[in-house]
Every structure is written in structure tokens, then in C-alpha cells.
Amino acid sequence: MRHNSGIAPPNLAPRVAAASGVMAGIVVGLAGHESHADAQIQLVSEERYVASRAQVGLEVIDRRNGPGAPFVLWQGRAFSLINFNGLGQAGAAADSDSVATPSRIDFDVLAEASQFYGLLETQSNGECVWRVRFRVSEPVDYDLNGFRSFWLQTAGSLDALLRLHRIGGGDEFRFGPVGVQPDVLAKRGRLMPGEYVMELIVSSRPESSAALVSNQAQIQGTISFASSGIVRVGSWRWRRAALGNGNVYQSWRSTQGPISWTEANRVAQSLGGLLATPTTTEENAALFGALASDPILWTLSGTPSGPWLGGAQFPDAAEPGGQWVWLSGEPFSLDRWWISQPDNNAGANRLAYFGAFNMILPNWGDYPADDPAIKSFIVELPETYCPADFNGNGFVDDTDFVLFSTAYDGFVCPGGAGCEGDLTRDGFVDDADFVVFTQAYDAFECPMGG
């Protein structure tokens, strides 16, 4: 696929704009350049603080990483984070595919706000904040259970907000800020790869009347994570040095049964790419040889079924071969259909690799979008994805260091800007590229979730 083809993709499945993020470790981290083990969830930061908010902005009264912020008094109001439990313990188990088992986040916040007669100023309020940022590298399922309660509350004196949202996207869930007593917190869902922020904020608001009041709010619960069973199997770049397009291809599979074409495409979009579109004989052969022929991606009983690709047929098209399109918007001109395909069997209108005679073959077949035999898919990411990872294995490691050193010695890009090693894309492999490469080499793992 060419990501700069200039052809508008069809509305069948528009690409999703990707958000970027840099984070580090919640439960299982990377052990340096010796290991290629992925952690499904990684924590970058956690902050807890009590603050005073006035018209001029936010003044942080106390900020700490340990539990129990102290009792704080300002503008006649006392506000305290009485109790806090943070991150849960890491799960140690792994499934048969050696997938790291994610952990959980436990939260138990008891906040108190007291106002004293004659001393409260209406232009001030305070808040008690807990915020955690984390990165999801593979799809994970979550289950939120908890409650939110208030005691001795006067109208409008305390608000509580609990939400989880994706950076660059919308809310996954949101409870509040207006409190309901009791308020049950419950939500299940699936997080796609990307960067997320979970935050819990209890805030007191200015009152027009002054009285002796003590208010408390408690928000307590657990968000537990479990593997969705959708795991990355391999990653490879079709290098320009091998006459490729420079794009990165990743193979993924479900360890817990079939995966639909729609869900596979959702994962691909969350990564900043789309389902792979092998539009030329050379690309199809290279992709099949490097990734798609791996037997772990195939269902070999009956007629062999391989991974999903980014081909689809418009509704109401002439059957069986009318109006097939690539998600990239490129012309659907290459014919790698197996001799009996497409056949529109059971309303098939999505494309995947197709085997025959108990053999894994680089040919295509049409399938229903929820075909029960297909358990894998191929994602294609643009050339600009993690450019310091020259071989596309998902890590900027010693192999990439050797390749960069060779390009650095060459200095001038033989083909103009954008050659291998020209990370700043100015036509030269120079000291500016060295700085970029060093930063990527130190980070080691390519980001997951665009």
C-alpha cells in the first residue's frame, strides 16, 4: 500500500486520526535492550495533590506520590485527602502465548471540605486530585466496579468526577461531576492500543452563604484489566533497500477464538494504520513471505483460512466480483484470487488470505465479516511510523544501530530526502538524525497506539 497515493479512501471504513504519547511502566516493564517482552499496560505517571483554585489560576497546596495528603486550610476552608489506595498488584500469570497479564487500579479516596462562618471567600474553591496516565500496547478488556457517596452535604458544596479518556480522543467512561447518593460505578469495555488518562477529582465550590459545615465524599472501587486475547505476533518493515515501500506490517491474532473483520480494522486504526492492502505482486509476495505465511495465523482445519486484509466489497455490488476496494483508496487491480474466489458464499464481502488442499497459499478469498474460522489479521503502518526501527521488528535495537551507522557514514541520501537514516528528512544523514536516533534507541520500544 502507498500511504501517499493521493486517492481518497472510500467511506467504507475511514482512517482514524492517531494520538501520540510517551509513557513508561504500571505493572510489567521492559528490561532494557536484552528483552523484547511486551507489557500490555505501562504506567507513565501518577500524581495526587490538594489544590486551591482562585480566579487567578490553580495554586498547588500539596503534591506527593505517597498516600495521605495532609490537612490543608486556605481561604477559611479545610480540604484534605484523608485516604488513598493507588495501583493494584501486578498479576503474575501468563496465558499459553506468554502474554503479560495486566493488573488493576484500586482507588479509595475520602475527601473532606469544611467551611467556617465568616471566613469563606466566594471566589475560591479547592480540589483533591488523583490522576494516572498509562499506555495500552495491546487491546485489553476492563471492568469497573465501585461507588461514590457523600455525607453531610449541603447543596452544591462538593462535586466528584471519575473518568477515563484516551489522549486525543473521547471519554471511555465518565461519572460526574454532580454527585448522586448512592452512585454506583459500573462499566465494561475494551481499550484499544493508545495512551489514556484516568482521573478522580473531588472539588469544593464557593458558597454564597457562610455556615459551619463539614462535608465528606468517598469514591471507592477497582478497574481491573484482563487480556482481550488479541496479541501481536510479528512485525516487519518492507525496507526501501529491498525495493519496498518502507511501510511497517504487523501480524496479530486472537487467542480466544475468531475475530471479525470490523474488530480487526478497529485495532489497526487505533495503531495509526489500517488493515494491510497488498496492491502489487511484489508487495503481496513480500508480505506473505515475511509475515502472513506463519502457520499460527491460520486455521488449517477444513479449507485453510488466513489473516484478514484491507479489502472489502461495497454493499449491493454485482456479485461475486463487483466493486471490490482497498481501504487505502488505491485501485483494486491486482488479481490474486484463488481459482474459485470470490464466490459470495454466505454473503462474503471481506478479503483474507485463502488456502487450498491443506496448503497455506498467497491467494485471496472472500469471507463474511464475522467468519468463525478467521483468527488473525495484518496491520499496515506508514513509513513514518517509528523510522529509527529500520527492520520494523518493533524495537530500536543494536541491529538498527548498525544500519544507522552505515547510513550516517554515507551522509548524503542517494535518492534525496527520506532515505534510510534520514530521520529529519532533509536529504542528509547527519548529526540532527543522530540525536533523533539516540532518543529512539534509549526509548527502545516503538510506541503502540498512534
How many independent structural domains does the chain possess? 3
CA angle 372, 378, 384 (to 5 degrees): 155
138 and 51 inside one domain: yes
200 and 64 inside one domain: yes
Which residues partner with 41 through β-bridges? 136
The C-alpha cell 468517598 sits at 218
267 and 343 inside one domain: yes
How far is residue 245's CA from residue 383's CA, in Å, rounded to a whole number? 7
Q: Would 124 be classed as within a structural domain? A: yes
| pLDDT at site 345 | 85
| pLDDT at site 415 | 61
Q: Would 389 be classed as within a structural domain? A: no
355 and 417 inside one domain: no
Do the Cβ atoms of 252 and 230 come closer than 8 Å? yes
Q: Would 256 be classed as within a structural domain? A: yes
Domain's final residue, options 164, 198, 227:
227
Q: Which residue segment(s) compose the domain that 101 sits in? A: 38-227
* Torsion angle of the four alpha carbons 106, 32, 379, 433, in this order, in degrees rounded to the nearest 10: 120
Q: Would 15 be classed as within a structural domain? A: no
* Torsion angle of the four alpha carbons 365, 368, 372, 376, in this order, in degrees rounded to the nearest 10: 60
Q: How far apart are the first and last CA of the chain?
A: 18
- Residue 238 is part of a domain; what is its CATH number? 3.10.100.10
| pLDDT at site 168 | 86
84 and 212 inside one domain: yes
Q: Would 9 be classed as within a structural domain? A: no
211-220: pLDDT as tens digits: 445 567 778 8
257 and 341 inside one domain: yes
368 and 267 inside one domain: yes
Amino acid, res. 147 = F
| pLDDT at site 418 | 64
Domain's final residue, options 193, 227, 261:
227
Do the Cβ atoms of 215 and 153 come closer than 8 Å? yes
Q: Would 11 be classed as within a structural domain? A: no
Which residue numbers in the chain have pLDDT < 70?
1-39, 49-102, 110-126, 151-158, 178-182, 204-215, 415-418, 449-450
| pLDDT at site 449 | 63
| pLDDT at site 218 | 76
431 and 312 inside one domain: no
**Helical H runs in 288-430?**
398-410
377 and 405 inside one domain: no
Spatial CA neighbour of 312 closest among 272, 259, 348, 345: 348
Q: Would 18 be classed as within a structural domain? A: no
The SS3 of residue 358 is coil
Question: Hey, how many other C-beta atoms are within 10 angstroms of the C-beta on 273?
Answer: 27
| pLDDT at site 79 | 41
| pLDDT at site 443 | 80
pTM score: 0.76
Residue 213's φ and ψ, nearest 5 degrees, are -140, 140
189 and 74 inside one domain: yes
Long-range contacts of 294-302 (CB under 8 A, 24+ apart): 294/233, 294/234, 294/251, 295/360, 296/233, 296/253, 296/376, 297/233, 297/251, 297/253, 297/375, 297/376, 298/353, 298/355, 298/360, 298/376, 299/373, 299/374, 299/375, 300/355, 300/358, 300/360, 302/373
264 and 199 inside one domain: no
Q: Would 392 be classed as within a structural domain? A: no
75 and 208 inside one domain: yes
| pLDDT at site 74 | 37
How far is residue 280's CA from residue 287's CA, in Å, rounded to a whole number? 11
Spatial CA neighbour of 332 closest among 306, 307, 361, 311: 311
Question: Hey, how many other C-beta atoms are within 10 angstroms of the C-beta on 247?
Answer: 25
Cα separation values, 324 from 202, 231, 437, Å:
53, 28, 40
